[in-house]
A and B are shown apart, each in its own frame.
Chain A
Amino acid sequence: MLVTGRVFQLVLLVVAVLFIYITWRRSKSGVLPKIREIAGLEAINDAVGRAVETGRPVMVNVGWGGIVDALKSQQTFAGIDVLSHVAKLTAKYKVPLIVPAAEAASVPLIEATVYESYLAEGCPDAYKAENIRYLTDLQWSWVSGTLGMIKREKPAANMMFGYFGGDTIMHSETGQAVGAIQIAGTAEIGYVPFFVIACDFALIGEELFAAGAYVTRNAERLSVIVSEDYFRIVLLGIIVIGVLAAIAGYSIVPLITT
């Protein structure tokens, strides 16, 4: 009855479901797992510090994925998580924070996030609603609006976390041209290279999601990371055992492909 060649895959799927269930249950208990440091995140402090020195603003861009689309929104949410962290720092050090928003639907969420960060730092008066600048829902209008903003405001730090497509090169090139410290991250692996080369620090792929969970310490988001780690370890084990067995002259491929 089981389709030949897919039995092992079914087992993997069941294992994945189990891991998700276990980690989700554990997240309810409130014990937070340890998570490794993510290189680019440490640089955020320095970047904000530079904004203090130079008196220029900090710009945080959460991409044009929006919060409606099921797939792209994952990255936007992670970006907004990082934004909440940056907003706390800018509130603390009294640096202007500018956010160019790309989707009308996401603006209220961004505004609320930034406001709450300012509130948490005890300075809700420093929050400026006009600095959350909604441009347009259209990709290229948004890109050109953001580029214009970078050129005018000359931010000391330009941070980009979220969904970015072909426009990665445009943002990071313009940011570099005004001398901003650039920290960026996207899960679009095809566009990560442009961030890596043109920005000072870049998060690679999945590091964006981990960064979101890292800065917010949200139990449920951390549990996602943990469940993925478990699954990775299982796969890693299979690959390592398979490789060692193959070197020793045995093959586990028939087992995997049953």
Chain B
Amino acid sequence: MKGSESGLTAKIRSNQPQVIYGLLLIFIIVPILYPIAVPMAVTEDTKKLYDFVEKLRDGSLVVVDGGVTVGWWPEMQPGAAAISQHLFNRPVRIIFIAFIEDTSILLHQMLTGPLIDKKGKKYGVDYVELGFMAGGEAGMAAFARDFHAVLKSDYYGEPIDTLPIMKDAVNAKSLALWIPLGGWEVEWALRQVGPHGTPIGCVSLAGNVPGFKPFLATGQLVGLLNSVKGGAEYEILMKKPGLGAVYMGGISLSHIVTIALVILGNVIYFVSRGKVKKEK
């Protein structure tokens, strides 16, 4: 098969990829400098999670757990911020925790940054940051079964049993919703939190979304935000455009470039293959 190639395909393969890199860079920079607003539809998975949060009973407890290494945070950030904001808007209590080393600081920065308006909710009463817990899947399992077994102090080093919110939060059964942010983290939650009967709704890394569809169908996931796109959709539902809208505006053109390159590459491949066949 490789032997039956004409010079044209070989030339493409051996050309300098830096030209293509440059092309991508241009089509990413242009929409930043000249932003174009394009309307977007909201997918069903996003809507389901939004509705679920909307219907949470007053005073319900919700866990938001960060689970990506720092490099993937830009992908999670719009969804994480939008859903956290929604939780702060609603009369529910929120527990922030991380099972991957990098995320506790990111969650803290998000909560103290300009993206989130806490609506006057009080730390320790309406929300709490528990920082990082080691052990990966086993750590999450230990936490889900008993919130107080391992973590004795919060992000600030205060004993958690003195915080009013942690009096009601005993284990996963006392929760109304568990929101993992990430890829593996969602699988861990499905295996370790799901069996407690706690509803799970996630913000997922884009590459994992197709793999999570079976769990959406069975209701093991009550809803799912597809990476930045889900974040942008959630912002639409909340009528408050933010980071997600910025990202979606910026990456649209580069998607077109990618598709064009796939098609162009294949057209050249077929044309040159056809030529070889004719010569034979």
Contacts and interface: CB of A to CB of B under 8 A. Distances in A.
A190 B207 contact: yes
B2 A177 contact: no
A177 B12 CA distance: 8
Given A50-B2, A200-B1, A177 B14 contact: yes
Interface residues on B, range: 10 to 19
B222 to A, nearest CB: 19
B10 interface: yes
B17 interface: yes
A5 to B, nearest CB: 9
Interface in A154-193: 173, 176-179, 181, 189-190
Contacts of B14: 177-179
Nearest to A9: B195
B6 to A, nearest CB: 13
Nearest to A189: B211
Contacts of A190: 183, 207-208, 211
The residue in B2, B10, B14, B207 that gathers the most chain A C-beta atoms within 10 A of its C-beta is: B2
Interface in B1-30: 1-2, 10, 13-14, 17
A179 B13 contact: yes
A189 B211 CA distance: 9
Given A50-B2, A200-B1, A176 B13 contact: yes
Nearest to B5: A179
B68 to A, nearest CB: 13
Nearest to A166: B207
A46 to B, nearest CB: 9
Contacts of B17: 173, 177
Contacts of B208: 190
A19 to B, nearest CB: 22
A179 B2 contact: yes
B210 to A, nearest CB: 9
Nearest to A174: B17
A181 B2 contact: yes
Nearest to A46: B1
Contact of A179 (B10, B183, B211): B10
A243 to B, nearest CB: 15
A178 B17 CA distance: 12
Contacts of A178: 13-14
Nearest to B1: A200
Interface in B197-218: 207-208, 211
A200 B1 CA distance: 9
A152 to B, nearest CB: 14
Contacts of A189: 211
Interface in A173-221: 173, 176-179, 181, 189-190, 200
Contacts of A181: 2
Contacts of A176: 13
Nearest to A6: B195
A50 B4 CA distance: 13
Nearest to A5: B195
Interface in B216-235: none
Contacts of A200: 1
Contacts of B183: 190
Contacts of A173: 17
A178 B10 CA distance: 9
B261 to A, nearest CB: 12
Interface string B174-213: 0000000001000000000000000000000001100100
Interface string B220-254: 00000000000000000000000000000000000
Give the top 7 A-B pairs by smallest Cβ distance, nearest first. A177-B13, A190-B207, A179-B2, A181-B2, A179-B13, A190-B208, A176-B13
Given A176-B13, A190-B211, 13 more contacts: A173-B17, A177-B13, A177-B14, A178-B13, A179-B2, A179-B10, A179-B13, A181-B2, A189-B211, A190-B183, A190-B207, A190-B208, A200-B1
14 contacts: A50-B2, A176-B13, A178-B13, A178-B14, A179-B2, A179-B10, A179-B13, A179-B14, A181-B2, A189-B211, A190-B183, A190-B207, A190-B208, A200-B1
